[in-house]
C-alpha cells in the first residue's frame, strides 16, 4: 500500500503539470488561430473594400446614365423612327444594366432592390411613351415625350436609389 501511495504522490504533480501544459498549449493555439483569422479578415478587407467602393461608383454611374434626360440626349439618333429608337433605348438599358449586374454582391439588398425598381420604372416610362407615339414618327418625338413624362415616377426612383447609394457609402466608410 505504501508503494501505491508513493507512486500516486509521484504521479500527481506530473499529471497536474501535464494538464496545465495541455491547457496552456490549447490557450496558445486558440490565440494563434484567432490571430490568423483576424489577419485573414483584414487582408480580405483590403481587397474587398476597393471592389465594394467601385461597385457603388459603377452603380451610381449606371443610374446617372439611365436617367431619362441623360439617356435620351445621349442615345438620340435623328435617322431612327420612334419604333427603332424605342428598341434602341430598351437595348441600351439592358446592356448598361447587364454590364453592372455583378455589382449587386457588394451592396445592400435593399439598395439593389431600389436600383431594380428604378430600372423598371424607366422601362415602364419608355414603353408607355412609345405606346402613345406612332411607330413611324421621328425618334425626336419619342425622346421629347420621354423627357416630358420623366418628371414623375422614373426620376423619383432613380433619385431615391442614388440617395440610398450615397447614404450607404457614408454609413460604411465615413
d(CA 42, CA 44): 5
Q: What number is the average pLDDT over the span 32-46?
A: 86
Helix 82-99 × helix 68-75 angle, to 10°: 120
Q: Are 140 and 86 in contact (CB under 8 A)?
A: no
Strand partners, 81: 138
Please give the pLDDT value at position 65.
Answer: 95
> Where are the chain's structural domains?
49-173
Q: What number is the average pLDDT over the span 1-29?
A: 85
69 pLDDT more than 80: yes
d(CA 119, CA 116): 5
User: Where residue 146 falls among pLDDT bands split at 50, 70, 90?
Assistant: very high
pTM over 0.85: no
Please give the pLDDT value at position 136.
Answer: 95
44 pLDDT more than 80: no
Q: Locate all alpha helices (DSSP H) within the chain, ordered by sequence.
A: 2-66, 68-75, 82-99, 109-131, 139-149, 153-173
Please give the pLDDT value at position 3.
Answer: 80
pLDDT tens digits, 76-107: 988 999 999 999 999 999 999 999 999 999 99
Percentage of residues in the chain with pLDDT exceeding 70? 99
123 pLDDT more than 90: yes
More confident of the two residues 47 and 167: 167
Q: What is the DSSP letter of 77?
A: -
Amino acid at each position: 500500500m505504501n508503494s501505491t501511495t508513493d507512486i500516486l504522490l509521484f504521479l500527481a504533480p506530473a499529471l497536474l503539470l501535464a494538464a496545465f501544459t495541455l491547457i496552456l498549449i490549447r490557450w496558445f493555439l486558440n490565440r494563434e488561430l484567432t490571430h490568423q483569422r483576424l489577419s485573414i479578415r483584414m487582408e480580405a478587407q483590403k481587397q474587398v473594400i476597393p471592389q465594394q467602393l467601385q461597385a457603388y461608383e459603377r452603380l451610381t454611374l449606371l443610374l446617372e446614365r439611365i436617367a431619362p434626360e441623360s439617356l435620351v440626349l445621349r442615345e438620340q439618333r435623328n435617322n431612327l423612327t420612334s419604333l427603332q429608337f424605342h428598341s434602341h433605348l430598351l437595348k441600351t438599358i439592358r446592356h448598361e444594366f447587364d454590364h453592372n449586374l455583378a455589382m449587386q454582391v457588394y451592396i445592400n439588398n435593399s439598395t439593389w432592390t431600389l436600383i431594380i425598381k428604378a430600372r423598371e420604372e424607366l422601362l415602364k416610362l419608355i414603353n408607355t411613351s412609345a405606346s402613345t407615339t406612332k411607330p413611324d414618327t421621328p425618334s425626336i418625338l419619342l425622346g421629347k415625350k420621354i423627357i416630358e413624362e420623366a418628371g414623375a415616377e422614373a426620376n423619383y426612383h432613380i433619385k431615391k436609389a442614388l440617395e440610398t447609394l450615397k447614404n450607404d457609402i457614408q454609413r460604411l466608410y465615413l
